Amino acid sequence: MRAPHTVLLLVFPDFQLLDATGPADVFAAVDEHLPPAKRPAYRLEALSPAGGLVRSSTGLELATRALPEPEQAAGCTVLVAGGFGVQAALQQGDLARWLARAAPHATRCASVCTGAFLLAQAGLLDGRPVVTHWRYAQWLQRLFPRVRVMPDALFVRDAQFYSSAGVTAGMDLCLSLVEEDHGREVSLQVARGLVMYLRRPGGQRQFSAELLAQQAPPGGQMERLVAWLRERLGQTVDVEEMAAQMAMSSRTLHRHCQAEMGMTPAKLLLQLRLERASQLLEGGEPALKRVAQQAGFGSEYNLRRAFVQALGVTPGEYRQRFCR
């Protein structure tokens, strides 16, 4: 019987409960699908700077032990939760200092949501692609300009460092770690047991045109703009034409779009085009040239560049992963 692989779950006051318990459930479920000789597959341990009961943002508490000596992370997976308390954790700095010393000993280091801020503060993500919840992507990039934030991917890996988007994306990441450790079939069985989609590896977008439409206030200016743009994604459309359609100046359109959607009109158009291209690829469209034309990218080169920058994968890789 082999020793279980240890997963160290790092939390702090006001952490997001599901950032820790979601991944824990994924790892714990593996034993149901392994023969007795390979159980337990994982040993889970919650850590915090001071140890003891740590209150989550929901008010529920998690029992933890104090951070051990960094050398005790040898051979372990270190997983850092996110949550509203990350700003205080950044100011205190003790988690980042421990991570910087423990990472060289660990097998892999990962983060969920804003847990990426602590890995970045530890200097572990410099020059690496990084994912966090899309709401905090710009903040992460501003605070740590040496990291390469991927604003719309679910999770990414660079060497032994992993990061994932908000909440349930951490479970997607952990399914991929289970697949690394125990193979695709076990990972698939765990996903089925937890009623999860296994077909959500890192390149899949965090949000889609449907969610963008929901984000636009009902009956507002941007809801009309989204509907108008969706009908013209294969055409050449610029900001001036959008503004004219909405009977606004370009500056007013920009202000409305930022206020209602949290992005510029040009960024909104790009997101809608990425969504259209993704739908075509998921549907099995074989010709990338046709995908590029129908989604409004014009050329395969522009399509590829947009996918790599936004999702971290090429259109061909995306189609291979997500084609139904």
Report the top-level CATH class of 5-193. alpha beta
Compute φ and ψ for 294, nearest 5 degrees.
-70, -30
For residue 199, name the pLDDT band (cuts at 50, 70, 90): very low
Of the candidates 132, 136, 69, the one whose C-alpha atom is nearest the C-alpha of residue 106 is 69
| Residue that wins the pLDDT comparison between 314 and 209 | 314
Topology of domain 209-322 in CATH is Arc Repressor Mutant, subunit A (1.10.10)
The per-residue pLDDT for range 210-239, each reduced to its tens digit, is 445 445 666 678 888 988 999 999 999 999
Percent of the chain at pLDDT above 90? 64
Residue 198, token pair as written in the block = 């296994």
Same fold, 5-193 and 209-322: no
Helices (H) and strands (E) in the chain, counts: 15, 10
Q: Look up the pTM and report it.
A: 0.68
Query: Which residue ranges make up each domain of the chain?
Result: 5-193, 209-322
pLDDT at position 63: 97
| d(C-alpha 142, C-alpha 171), whole Å | 27
Over residues 88-128, the pLDDT tens digits come to 999 999 999 999 999 999 999 999 999 999 999 999 999 99
Summarised one tens digit per residue, pLDDT across range 283-319 is 777 899 999 999 999 999 999 998 888 766 788 877 7
